[in-house]
Structure 1
Amino acid sequence: MSATGVVVRAETGMGDDGGVAASTENKRGRQTARDMVLSLLVILLGAGFVYLLVPHDDSLDPVRPISYDVELVTARRAAPYPVAAPAGLPDTWRATSVGYKRQSDLGAVWHLGFMDPDDQYAAVEQSDGEPEKFIRSVTHGAKPADRTQAVGGEEWERYEGAKYDALVRRDSGVTTVVTGTASFESLTRLAAALESERAGAPEESGETGAGGESGRPPETTGASGKD
């Protein structure tokens, strides 16, 4: 305070400009965030509009059938046993995987997988190896149901499991397994359609295959498991 009683305020070099600048920066930050959100919404709306313009057919079958004629002929020439494949199945049975492996831990192995009319997996598996080991492998551990089922005048053993069920036939030099997530009705239909044939003497063939199914020789496409 001066001698005259007048209060003198010291100049600090800071006025209201600092507060105004901070307020301006906050406003700009909010505007930037808002602009980013609006831009994202515009992009999403545009993508949705394009999706609606593109025709979609949900009725299309996601399963891609394969042809196995060449693999079947090759396997029948190379295998040391009559190779089985179905004849006369309707078109609603779609082949999805095929393969022949001349040498493996399970012996000489033939595999042919299908999706049945109910979109369940069913496969023909054959081997000249140790039967129990082979059956356990291709059925994912299914157990004997202690009963048989007549199919085409022949007796097949029934196996039941948490993932796959199966029909099993043991012949001299070969074990044939029809297995999968399909019902026993479908498995029986597939087994009844099988025709076995051996085209000639074994060739020095390694393996052939197409499609896929996890755990199958050779590694092929996938199929759904039993819940």
Structure 2
Amino acid sequence: MSARADRRGVVRRAESGMGDDGAVASKSGTQTARDMVLSMLVILLGVGVVYLFIPHDDSLDPVRPISYDTELITARRAAPYPVAAPVGLPETWRATSVRYEAQSDHGSVWHLGFMDPDDQYAAVEQSDGESDAFVAEVTHGAEETERVQKIDGEEWTRYEGPKYDALVRREPGVTTVVTGTASFDGLARLAAALEAEEG
């Protein structure tokens, strides 16, 4: 056999070997992808088993009531107006958020949020800043109506909106808003419980 024929045989064998390596690489890649999918299925199965066997109660109340005594004392000492908070509300009214900002876009702002007995949101919002802008923000754009509601001898203007309704009372130096998803009866109940004090 000539040297040229020997060289051709070597070349053919080399090309044949390259083809085999490509097939092996392709098969290896398929196995890796399949192994990843199987691993994910095993993990998901494990998570499912843990979820099923660890006790959990879907009926538990996800709302975590908070105490706001310290924040209220601090706000009453710092605010330039009498800060309002409810007195005598039943325990079915759960405080969920509290905040006092001495300097904000709306001046000095007091916020105290609740979930009412019907699991609706109601909040007390106060500010010494520009009234209309403040009311628009905390009520999410509720609009003033011509209805005025008397609560304990004080007049509150009703606002109605797509997200929140509100009762609004404007006094010299402070605007007080009771707003949320609660019914007007619920908002009035919260407004009637408010006592405003300075620290």
Q: Normalised by the size of structure 1, how large is the TM-score?
A: 0.71
Runs of 4+ in structure 1 over 3 Å off: 10-15, 18-40
**1:149-181: per-residue Cα shift (whole Å, max 9, x none)?**
122232210011122211011223322110112
Give the distance between the partners of 2:148 and 2:98, measured in 1 at CA.
27
CA 154–44 in structure 1, closer or farther in 2 if over 3 Å, else same: same
- 2:139 corresponds to which residue? 139
Q: Give matches, 1:31-50, under 5 Å.
A: 33-50=33-50
Instruction: Report 1:27-176 matches (<5 A).
Output: 33-176=33-176
**1:132 Cα deviation after fit:** 2.0
Structure 2 match to 1:5: none
Aligned-partner Cα distance in 2 for 1:108–1:174: 9
2:100, 2:56 → 1: CA distance?
A: 38
What CA distance in whole angstroms lies between the structure 1 residues aligned with 2:36 and 2:174?
A: 68
Provide the aligned C-alpha RMSD in A. 2.7
SS at match of 1:103: strand
1:26-49 Cα offsets, whole Å, 9 max, x none, are 666655554444343333222222
Matched residue type, 2:106: L
How far apart, in 2, do the equivalents of 1:44 and 1:164 lie? 41
Identical-residue share of aligned pairs (%): 72
3-state SS of 1:57 partner: coil
Q: CA deviation at 1:145?
A: 1.0
Cα distance in 2 for residues equivalent to 1:30 and 1:103: 62
2-side partners of 1:31 and 1:134: how far apart? 62
Moved more, 115-124 or 182-191: 115-124
**Whole-Å separation in 1 of the counterparts to 2:32 and 2:173:** 77
Instruction: Return the structure number with greater helix share.
Output: 2
Greater strand content = 2
Map Cα deviations across residues 116-150 of structure 1 (whole Å, 9 max, x no partner).
22332211111223322222222222211111112
Query: Residue type matched to 1:143 in 2?
Result: E
Q: How many residues in Structure 1 have an aligned counterpart in Structure 2? A: 189
SS in 2 for 1:137: helix
How many Å apart are 1:23 and its aligned residue?
11
CA 1:32/1:110 → structure 2, altered by over 3 Å: closer, same or farther?
A: closer
| Normalised TM-score (structure 2) | 0.79
Higher RCO structure, 1 or 2 (CA under 8 Å, sep 6+): 1
Aligned residue identity for 1:91? E
Q: Which amino acid aligns with 1:80?
A: P
| Superposed CA offset, 1:73-118 (max 9, x none) | 1222222222110011122222122122233332222111112223
Could you say what secondary structure the match of 2:98 adopts?
strand
Alignment CA distance shift 1:23-1:172 (3 Å):
closer
Distance of 2:129 and 2:114 partners within structure 1: 23
